[in-house]
Chain A
Amino acid sequence: EDQVTQSPEALRLQEGESSSLNCSYTVSGLRGLFWYRQDPGKGPEFLFTLYSAGEEKEKERLKATLTKKESFLHITAPKPEDSATYLCAVQDTGGFKTIFGAGTRLFVKA
Chain B
Amino acid sequence: DVKVTQSSRYLVKRTGEKVFLECVQDMDHENMFWYRQDPGLGLRLIYFSYDVKMKEKGDIPEGYSVSREKKERFSLILESASTNQTSMYLCASSLIQGYGYTFGSGTRLTVV
A binds B: yes
Question: Please, which residues of chain A bring their CB within 8 A of the CB of B48?
Answer: 96-97
- The answer for the CA separation of A34 and B108 in the assembled complex, in Å, is 24
Contact of A34 among B4, B97, B100 (CB under 8 A): B100
Interface centre among A44, A97, A100 (most CB of B within 10 A): A44
- The answer for the CA separation of A97 and B35 in the assembled complex, in Å, is 11
Contact of B42 among A42, A46, A91, A102 (CB under 8 A): A102
**How many pairs of A and B residues are in contact by the CB < 8 Å rule?**
54
Interface size on B, residues (CB 8 A): 23
Q: Can you list 25 residue pairs at the A/B interface with Cβ under 8 Å?
A: A32-B98, A32-B99, A34-B100, A34-B101, A41-B106, A43-B4, A43-B90, A43-B103, A43-B105, A43-B106, A44-B90, A46-B100, A46-B101, A48-B100, A49-B98, A91-B98, A96-B48, A96-B50, A97-B45, A97-B58, A98-B45, A98-B101, A100-B43, A101-B42, A102-B42
